């Protein structure tokens, strides 16, 4: 599969990594709470379109190997009928609203709404054809060799915040691996560190847990002790043997930067302008809906201070193809600059949040498809997987520097003053958990206490608080899980487990249902 390559001039190899994660949110009291809409909109705009793109390329024999990280919280939601039923409802509502408001004679941008309704109906067809099981679709692509699947920690915990407790870090890592193995078979060779958070010594723990490689920010390489000599342009091995793939900043910035990168082009669909706000109360109430941002977006970015114009998908798709060609040119330019300094072809590691491609940047999947086709026709650019490079052997080494991505690059977003109070509380709760061994009477409560502690560790809550969007929700979830863990542990310690309360908590957040957490601890 793929074309025989005869390399001419400066060659470049690229490791493209897409990390898919959403916080675990379950609010049965509401039909479409905002925190669940994140999942439904990403299924529609990101996961299904990307699966379609990868399937199309694989069917045509175009070699475009992606490394895909699927978080345990996302996998749990994708495999739960609770969310599947709600997504069916969501798709039906958005299709109905788009169709009604696209009717001739309406005041809406009818052409854009007609395009949207058609794409939503195609999405529903693909969803049903996949038997509403997207994890299975990723598994099939993995079996075909089109993607390499890896995972992350159980609830996407920023591990450097818990360096004081290797046992707590290990619980996060091993639980994540166990949940992945339940969905896909053996534990993956790679692991995505949440927020690319790395602290000294973490490589040894990861290696002990069977992790062979991970991805870090560029300054993890440039600040490394004793190398690596090739900077962030080649993978390198830490002392433990864990292989580090450091991010290439300049190329990845062209893709993700909101204003200076491709997604800011005025031909693309505007992310923030949701047409639901302009719809009549009558049409919404007819479907039993309250006014909320359902993700009905029919305007293009247009420009600051200008009246928004209707979105034209053909125009957006053309822009995506143009930007894919430009990106290929940038890869060649970057390789021509770097290769002579290295004395070898560089490896550019490009890690992104998967949700960028389709949700934040609606045309992102089309950009990737165009990129794959251009790379397949080239003789000097190859996309590869981490496993391919590991088989060749890693001849560079160093001790990676502490680092993360995000603001300032050193955990600032998550270790901010508004959240610092939580970390010692979680440490104390974990100490109480590890001090006990469950018996037949306390096993269920013990598992639920561990679940609550891990849910409290989610990096999403401090991110929401620091970002100041959904800050109240982030604070509420953080406090809720710490309070629940404390109450359950108190019952275990007193020999008076409140089974009704434990059962209520398990039903509320069945993330680790039937997991043998106690065997990991």
**Rounded Cα gap, residues 425 and 413, in angstroms:** 19
Q: What percent of the chain has pLDDT over 90?
A: 87
Which of 130, 118, 155, 150 lies closest to 50 in space, CA to CA?
A: 130
pLDDT > 80? residue 518: no
pLDDT > 90? residue 266: yes
Provide the pLDDT for residue 303.
66
Residues 6+ away with beta carbon under 8 Å from 476: none
Rounded mean pLDDT of 378-404?
96
Which of 494, 513, 385, 376 lies closest to 447 in space, CA to CA?
A: 513
pLDDT > 80? residue 205: yes
Q: Do 12-79+133-269+311-400 and 412-520 come out as alike in CATH topology?
A: no
Provide the pLDDT for residue 2.
40
Q: Count Cβ atoms below 10 Å from residue 79 Cβ, excluding itself.
A: 17
Rounded mean pLDDT of 148-161?
98
**pLDDT tens-digit map of 89-120:** 999 999 999 988 776 555 557 888 999 999 99
Residue 130: half-sphere exposure toward Cβ, Cα within 13 Å: 26
Provide the pLDDT for residue 10.
42
pLDDT > 70? residue 132: yes
CA distances from 190 to 69, 144, 358, 387, 519 (A): 9, 19, 25, 9, 22
pLDDT > 60? residue 292: yes
Rounded mean pLDDT of 136-144?
97
Fold of 412-520: immunoglobulin/albumin-binding domain-like (1.20.1430)
pLDDT > 90? residue 7: no
**pLDDT tens-digit map of 171-192:** 999 999 999 999 999 889 999 9
516 confidence band (pLDDT: 50, 70, 90) = confident
515 confidence band (pLDDT: 50, 70, 90) = low
Which of 492, 440, 288, 347 lies closest to 11 in space, CA to CA?
A: 347
pLDDT > 70? residue 463: yes
Rounded mean pLDDT of 50-61?
98
503 confidence band (pLDDT: 50, 70, 90) = very high
pLDDT > 90? residue 158: yes
Mean pLDDT lowest for which of 153-157, 444-448, 510-514?
Answer: 510-514
Residue 220 φ then ψ, to 5°: -65, -30
513 confidence band (pLDDT: 50, 70, 90) = low
467 confidence band (pLDDT: 50, 70, 90) = confident
**Rounded Cα gap, residues 301 and 312, in angstroms:** 11
Cα 107 off chain centre by: 37
Q: Where are the domains of the chain?
A: 12-79+133-269+311-400, 412-520
Tokens matching residue 34: 């905002």
The CATH-assigned architecture of domain 12-79+133-269+311-400 is Alpha-Beta Barrel (3.20)
Mean pLDDT lowest for which of 44-48, 194-198, 467-471, 489-493?
Answer: 467-471
Residues 6+ away with beta carbon under 8 Å from 425: 482
């Amino acid at each position: 599969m793929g074309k025989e390559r005869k390399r001419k001039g400066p060659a470049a190899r690229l490791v493209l990594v897409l990390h898919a994660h959403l916080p675990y949110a379950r609010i049965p009291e509401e039909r479409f709470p905002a925190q669940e809409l994140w999942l439904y909109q990403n299924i529609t705009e990101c996961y299904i379109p990307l699966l379609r793109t990868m399937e199309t390329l694989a069917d045509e024999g175009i070699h475009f190997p992606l490394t895909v990280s699927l978080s345990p919280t996302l996998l749990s939601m994708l495999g739960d009928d609770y969310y599947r039923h709600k997504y069916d409802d969501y798709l039906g509502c958005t299709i109905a609203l788009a169709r009604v408001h696209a009717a001739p004679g309406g005041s809406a941008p009818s052409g854009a709404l007609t395009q949207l309704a058609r794409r939503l109906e195609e999405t529903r067809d693909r969803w049903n054809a996949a038997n509403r099981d997207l994890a299975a679709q990723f598994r099939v692509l993995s079996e075909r060799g089109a993607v390499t699947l890896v995972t992350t920690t159980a609830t996407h915990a920023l591990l450097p915040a818990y360096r004081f407790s290797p046992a707590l870090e290990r619980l996060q890592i091993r639980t994540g691996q166990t949940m992945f193995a339940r969905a896909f078979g053996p534990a993956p060779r790679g692991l995505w560190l949440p927020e690319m958070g790395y602290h000294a010594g973490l490589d040894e723990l990861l290696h002990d847990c069977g992790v062979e490689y991970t991805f870090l920010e560029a300054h993890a390489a440039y600040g490394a002790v004793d190398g690596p000599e090739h900077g962030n342009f080649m993978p390198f091995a830490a002392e433990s043997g864990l292989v580090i793939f450091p991010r290439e900043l300049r190329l990845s910035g062209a893709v993700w930067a909101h204003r200076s990168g491709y997604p800011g082009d005025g031909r693309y669909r505007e992310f923030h302008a949701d047409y639901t706000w302009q719809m009549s109360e009558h049409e919404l109430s007819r479907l039993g809906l309250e006014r909320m941002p359902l993700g009905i977006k029919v305007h293009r970015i247009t420009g600051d201070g200008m009246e928004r114009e209707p979105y034209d998908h053909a125009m957006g798709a053309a822009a995506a193809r143009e930007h894919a060609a430009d990106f290929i040119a940038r890869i060649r330019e970057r390789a021509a600059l770097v290769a002579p300094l290295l004395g070898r072809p560089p490896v550019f590691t490009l890690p992104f949040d998967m949700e960028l491609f389709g949700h934040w940047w609606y045309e992102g999947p089309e950009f990737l498809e165009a990129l794959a086709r251009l790379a397949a026709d080239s003789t000097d650019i190859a996309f590869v997987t981490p496993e391919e490079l590991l088989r060749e052997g890693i001849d560079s080494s160093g001790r990676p520097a502490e680092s993360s991505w995000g603001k300032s690059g050193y955990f600032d977003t998550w270790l901010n003053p508004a959240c610092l109070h939580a970390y010692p509380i979680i440490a104390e709760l974990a100490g109480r958990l590890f001090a006990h061994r469950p018996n037949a009477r306390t096993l269920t409560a013990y598992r639920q206490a561990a679940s609550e502690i891990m849910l409290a560790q989610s990096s999403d809550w401090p991110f929401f608080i620091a970002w100041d969007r959904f800050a109240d929700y982030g604070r509420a979830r953080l406090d809720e899980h710490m309070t629940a863990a404390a109450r359950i542990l108190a019952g275990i310690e007193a020999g008076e487990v409140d089974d009704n309360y434990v059962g209520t908590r398990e039903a509320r957040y069945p993330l680790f249902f039937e997991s043998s957490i106690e065997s990991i601890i």
